[in-house]
Amino acid sequence: MTKLFGYPKFTDGEQVLTQYKGDYAHMNMDIRVFRMNRDDELVFYKENEEIAILLLSGKIRIQADSIDRIVSRESVFTQGPWCIHVPAEVKVVITAIEDSEILVQRTINEQKFTAKLYSPSDAPYKYSCLNEFGNTAKRRVNTIFDHDICPESNMVLGEVLNDPGNWSGYLPHSHPQPECYYFKFDHPEGFGASFVGDKVFKSTDGSFSAIPGGELHPQACAPGFQMYTCWMIRHLDGNPWLQTDRVEDERYTWLHGEER
């Protein structure tokens, strides 16, 4: 049976979400989170995989190709993203200037493109669903890179910040490509609800949702807490995910424009 949700623990500073084999192989991505102590160094290099490394919190030095930059992020709830994205056969060295946390997203891709360091100004948050659904689906969304921004990539990476008590991924929608959501909350006891098709899971800090292509997947955040979601999509061969690919469940489309 396909597993749809996970609550991974950190082991030696590493939290494994999805891999190419095993319970979450349907994601077609290797996704991990690393907690680094000050002065720790991690080296990433793959001969047939592109790699995106997203700073979640802390201060790090990023070295890749001609890029050599120190960047910082207080938290995902207060500042925008820094992300290094490289093609196969490009080495990335991450050095922790202070205690830090990074998310690493990888997938098979031998196509070449120019390594790029994305800054908060490249991926500004924009409010979505203001004044819709009784203002209960307000969230801020950014897209760090997608097919329009980097057509050579086989991945999409972005972030969502839910206002407390609000929904995201609403109206219930689907797309053919698999998607992974990684959740964080501004308080450790924070929680929400993650829907995958007809199943529902309790989203907690550090949990993730592994959504197969074609499944509806709205999310909700409990009142009193802010929820962060890192959303990661794997393009299908010959069928990349596009911003226009969102297919809303027609049973609920009448809600657009309703005054409630």
For the chain, domains (ranges, CATH) are 5-255 (2.60.120.10)
pLDDT value at residue 61: 98
Rg value, the chain, Cα:
18
Distances (CA, A) of 231 to 101, 106, 228, 234, 255: 17, 13, 10, 10, 25
What value does the mean pLDDT of the chain take?
96
Provide the 3-class DSSP secondary structure of residue 136.
coil
Binning pLDDT at 50, 70 and 90, where does residue 257 land?
confident
Q: What end-to-end distance do the CA atoms of the chain give, in Å?
A: 40
Residue 226 pLDDT exceeds 80: yes
- Are the C-beta atoms of residues 149 and 211 closer than 8 Å to each other? no
Binning pLDDT at 50, 70 and 90, where does residue 258 land?
low
Q: Which residues pair with 196 in a beta bridge?
A: 199
pLDDT tens sequence across 165-182: 999 999 999 999 999 999
Provide the 3-class DSSP secondary structure of residue 164.
coil
Q: Is the pTM of this model over 0.85?
A: yes
pLDDT tens sequence across 35-92: 999 999 999 999 999 999 999 999 999 999 999 999 999 999 999 999 999 999 999 9
Residue 260 pLDDT exceeds 70: no
Provide the 3-class DSSP secondary structure of residue 222.
coil
Q: Which residues pair with 23 in a beta bridge?
A: none
Percentage with pLDDT > 70 across the chain = 98
pLDDT value at residue 246: 86
pLDDT tens sequence across 94-139: 999 999 999 999 999 999 999 999 999 999 999 988 888 888 999 9
Q: What is the mean pLDDT of residues 149-167?
A: 97
CA-wise closest residue to 50 among 179, 178, 119, 150: 150
Residue 256 pLDDT exceeds 90: no
Helix, strand and coil percent figures for the chain, each rounded to 5: 5, 45, 50
Provide the 3-class DSSP secondary structure of residue 55.
strand
Provide the 3-class DSSP secondary structure of residue 254.
helix
**Strand ranges for 189-236 from DSSP E:** 191-196, 199-204, 208-211, 219-221, 227-234
